[in-house]
Amino acid sequence: MGANEFVTYQSGVNAEEAFRTAVADAQLWHGSGGRTGTIAEKAAEGFVIVSAEPVSEATAEKTAARVLAGDDEQWAEIRDKRGPAGGIAVAGGQREHQVTIPAVPGGHADLEAAVVAAMSGKLAEGEFVVYREVSGEYRSEGTRVLGGRLTVPTMGARTQTGWLWFGNAPR
Residue 7 is part of which domain span? 3-91+159-170
pLDDT in tens, 97-140: 999 999 999 999 999 999 999 999 999 989 999 999 999 999 99
* Per-residue confidence (pLDDT) for residue 109, from 0 to 100: 97
pLDDT in tens, 44-83: 899 999 999 999 999 999 999 999 998 678 999 999 999 9
pTM of the model: 0.78
- Write the secondary structure of the chain as one string of H (helix), E (strand) and C (coil): CCEEEEEEEEECCCHHHHHHHHHHHHHHHHCCCCCCCCHHHHCCCCEEEEEEEEECHHHHHHHHHHHHHCCCHHHHHHHCCCCCEEEEEEECCCEEEEEEECCCCCCECCHHHHHHHHCCCCCCCCCEECHHHCEEEEEEECCEEEEEEEEEEEECCCCEEEEEEEEEEEC
| 42 & 102 share domain | no
State the total domains in the chain.
Answer: 2
| 79 & 103 share domain | no
